[in-house]
């Protein structure tokens, strides 16, 4: 190494000397962070079970049941992110000091190779929890890998297994994460530590630091402080993320059928995610995903060859400028990706949908707004499923068959999915498809939110033809359906000769609504005042109102509606015993055309299809329990 290749630093406190100290501290921080990763990784291995049926449950067990398990796992996760940051910082300091010239080129190349391996370790560990985020994120990356010309499919099969993402994939990723990649990373780190002596040879300032202000093993107080700062930062962020932000670092169990999961990459890969949006066609995506990134990484590895010739200072400036532009571009793409995923306002979504429905050509901004709205609808559902998964695991444990069986048995999860798949083509649930998605197609039947509640029944008895109830329903000839209730109500109101009689009728309808709501033990409104207006009704008053409602029902409603199979008149309307209970809804879903419900004949036969042959008994029960809001017991 020539003298002008050395770090020629005088006086001792020049900026380059401080950078050299910081670079050494970063290298020490990398070593310490690797040690933390090793220790926490071993502790996690004591509880982790690398199988498709057990992986999620074992991570949930670590996160919630093992003492300080959340801290161990959080440290392991956040330390891997910190490693990426520190290795990038170390590479930037090498660039700033021109520590890639001559024999020091190996340190430059080993550092970038280490960065690649740290990222690979993070990605391989990313799949191990076997949750939704890990599953679909890995699926996307594997599909990108498969676009590599000539060898893509073979590489994907080698990584995932011939059957795609499954048990073989989890086993291979686990082996890569705990054995192969760490060994390679340790070899590169040892190589950097060994080659570092070429960086400090002839550096009198750094040599003097071994005797001036050193603690032990050549470490200075500054080294210890910098390393302690990195470690304290990781510890503090882990605690803050868990206790304040509530991050569990675990999504819902991986479900290969949930193809609408809103997959997004990790923070450090968001720029690549946004970058690929600009490559639309399959061939262009190969260029954007494989060719250009490979060329960029190859150019970084060849930087020492580019600068070693004449006009080295000028070429160094070119390298710094190119690396700075690349770094700023990555930051800018990350910011753009985050901005595109911001939730748009309700008005912006409505305006974009209106322009779409008007038949005009949608602008790029309109498409972006609608994509972001869809993303947040899917994200809300995914977050709710994740929260519900934890609730079920905490309450009942995880069955030996795996967490997906636990989810499949839960009506609160299956009900909305079944509603979206089979009911939302006609009905709505609070205006959406049951999973939070606002559909473009208009509803053709009633909104079923709070079905069987006092408020809903009373609203129906006030205005049966409101769009929330029967207003959207049509007969086969296009005429309004189920108009008999509206005509009956109008007749009752016409018979009222004065305001007192009208108030008496309204009070009677209130009692009937309470009686019907009580059939399914629906929650009663707590907004009803007592007779003197001083407060809410007590239990005795409620019981009296229900009894008054029963008598009013039997006197008037039972002429059409049967109750326990009995009716006082000849007109036939649906049975209202146990109305809106999950069993009543189950019968309605199974076969609405049966005689006790809407029948298949008469002036207004049932138009709702039977799902007895379409849905299994357990699916119909899950849907009915969810709609009724009961426990299903």
Residues 134 and 233 in one domain: yes
pLDDT confidence of residue 309: 66
- Answer with the one of 376, 392, 409 that is the final residue of a domain: 409
Domain limits for position 546: 454-573
- What three-state secondary structure class fits 225? helix
Residues 521 and 393 in one domain: no
From the list 611, 614, 619, the residue with the least C-alpha distance to 409 is: 619
Q: Which residue has the higher pLDDT, 59 or 597?
A: 59
pLDDT confidence of residue 358: 73
pLDDT confidence of residue 250: 96
Q: Would you say residue 442 lies in a domain?
A: no
What confidence tier does 121 reach under pLDDT thresholds 50, 70, 90? Answer: very high
| Mean pLDDT of all residues belonging to the chain | 86
Residues 88 and 209 in one domain: yes
Q: Would you say residue 277 lies in a domain?
A: no
pLDDT confidence of residue 203: 47
From the list 449, 416, 408, the residue with the least C-alpha distance to 430 is: 449
Q: Dump pLDDT digits (tens) for 558-577.
A: 998 999 888 888 778 899 99
From the list 532, 515, 533, the residue with the least C-alpha distance to 524 is: 515
HSE on the CB side for 446, CA within 13 Å?
20
What does the CA dihedral 429, 433, 434, 437 come to, rounded to 10 degrees?
-120
Residues 176 and 28 in one domain: yes
Q: What is the DSSP string of 532-574?
A: TSSSB--HHHHHHHHHHHHHHHHHHGGGTB-BTTB-SSS--B-
- Answer with the one of 239, 259, 279 that is the final residue of a domain: 259
In angstroms, rounded to a whole number, what is the distance separating the alpha carbons of residues 29 and 227?
5
Query: What does the block give as tokens for 604?
Result: 């207004």
Residues 403 and 492 in one domain: no
pLDDT confidence of residue 209: 45
Q: Would you say residue 2 lies in a domain?
A: no
pLDDT confidence of residue 3: 40
Total tally of structural domains belonging to the chain: 3
Q: Would you say residue 569 lies in a domain?
A: yes
pLDDT confidence of residue 4: 42
What confidence tier does 270 reach under pLDDT thresholds 50, 70, 90? Answer: very high
Q: Which range has the worst mean pLDDT, 52-66, 343-357, 386-400? A: 343-357
pLDDT confidence of residue 126: 95
pTM, two decimals, is 0.84
What does the CA dihedral 618, 624, 626, 632 come to, rounded to 10 degrees?
-70
Residues 405 and 458 in one domain: no
Residues 377 and 491 in one domain: no
pLDDT confidence of residue 206: 45
pLDDT confidence of residue 219: 67
Q: Would you say residue 223 lies in a domain?
A: yes
Residues 99 and 30 in one domain: yes
Q: What's the rounded mean pLDDT across residues 413-429? A: 94
Q: Would you say residue 566 lies in a domain?
A: yes
Q: Which residue has the higher pLDDT, 15 or 567?
A: 567
Confirm if 445 and 470 have CB atoms less than 8 A apart: no
Residues 46 and 111 in one domain: yes
Q: Dump pLDDT digits (tens) for 165-222.
A: 999 999 999 999 999 999 999 999 999 888 766 555 544 444 444 444 444 455 677 7
């Amino acid at each position: 190494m020539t003298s002008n290749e050395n770090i020629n630093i005088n006086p001792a406190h020049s900026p380059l000397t401080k950078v050299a100290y910081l670079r050494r501290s970063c290298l020490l921080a990398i070593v310490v962070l690797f040690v933390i990763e090793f220790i926490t990784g071993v502790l996690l291995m004591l509880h982790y079970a690398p199988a498709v049926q057990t992986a999620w449950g074992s991570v949930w067990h670590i996160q919630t049941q093992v003492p300080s398990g959340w801290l161990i796992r959080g440290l392991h996760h956040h330390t891997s992110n910190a490693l990426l940051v520190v290795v990038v910082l170390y590479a930037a300091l090498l660039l700033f000091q021109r520590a890639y010239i001559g024999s020091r080129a190996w340190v430059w190349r080993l550092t970038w190779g280490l960065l690649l391996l740290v990222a690979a370790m993070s990605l391989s560990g990313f799949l191990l929890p076997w949750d939704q985020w890990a599953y679909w994120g890995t699926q996307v990356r594997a599909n990108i890998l498969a676009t590599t010309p000539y060898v893509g499919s073979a590489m994907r099969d080698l990584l995932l297994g011939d059957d795609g993402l499954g048990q073989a994939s989890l086993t291979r990723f686990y082996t890569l994460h705990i054995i192969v990649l760490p060994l390679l990373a340790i070899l590169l780190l040892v190589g950097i530590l060994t080659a570092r002596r070429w960086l400090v040879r002839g550096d009198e300032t750094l040599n003097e630091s071994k005797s001036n202000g050193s603690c032990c093993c050549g470490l200075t107080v500054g080294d210890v402080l910098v390393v302690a700062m990195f470690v304290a930062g990781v510890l503090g962020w882990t605690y803050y993320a868990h206790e304040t932000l509530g991050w569990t670092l675990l999504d819902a169990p991986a479900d290969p059928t949930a193809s609408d999961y809103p997959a997004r990459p990790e923070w450090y890969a968001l720029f690549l995610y946004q970058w690929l949006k600009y490559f639309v066609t399959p061939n262009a995506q190969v260029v954007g995903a494989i060719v250009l990134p490979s060329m960029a990484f190859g150019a970084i590895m060849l930087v020492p060859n580019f600068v070693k010739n004449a006009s080295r200072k000028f070429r160094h400036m070119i390298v710094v400028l190119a690396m700075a532009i690349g770094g700023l571009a990555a930051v800018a793409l990350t910011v753009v990706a985050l901005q595109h995923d911001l939730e748009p306002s309700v008005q912006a979504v409505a305006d974009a949908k209106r322009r779409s429905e008007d038949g005009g050509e949608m602008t790029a901004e309109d498409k972006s707004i609608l994509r972001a709205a869809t993303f947040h609808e899917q994200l809300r559902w995914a977050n709710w499923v994740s929260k519900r998964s934890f609730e079920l695991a905490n309450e009942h444990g995880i069955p030996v068959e795996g967490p997906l069986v636990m989810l499949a048995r839960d009506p609160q999860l299956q009900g909305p999915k079944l509603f979206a798949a089979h009911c939302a083509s006609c009905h709505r649930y609070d205006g959406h498809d049951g999973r939070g998605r606002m559909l473009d197609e208009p509803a053709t039947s009633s909104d079923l939110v709070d079905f069987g509640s006092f408020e809903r029944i009373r609203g129906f008895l006030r205005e049966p033809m409101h769009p929330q109830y029967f207003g959207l329903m049509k007969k086969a000839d296009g005429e309004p359906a189920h108009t008999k209730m509206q005509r009956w109500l109008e007749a009752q109101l016409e018979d009222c000769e004065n305001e007192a009689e009208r108030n008496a009728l309204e009070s009677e309808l209130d009692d009937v609504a309470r009686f019907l709501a009580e059939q399914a033990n629906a929650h009663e409104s707590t907004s009803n005042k007592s007779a003197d207006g001083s407060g809410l009704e007590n239990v005795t008053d409620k019981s009296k109102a229900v009894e008054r409602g029963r008598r009013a029902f039997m006197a008037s409603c039972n002429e059409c509606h049967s109750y326990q199979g009995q009716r006082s008149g000849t007109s036939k309307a649906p049975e209202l015993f146990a109305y809106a209970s999950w069993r009543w809804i189950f019968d309605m879903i199974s076969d609405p055309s049966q005689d006790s419900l809407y029948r298949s004949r008469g002036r207004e036969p049932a138009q709702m299809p039977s799902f007895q042959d379409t849905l299994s008994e357990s699916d119909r029960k899950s849907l009915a329990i969810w709609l009724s809001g009961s426990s299903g017991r």
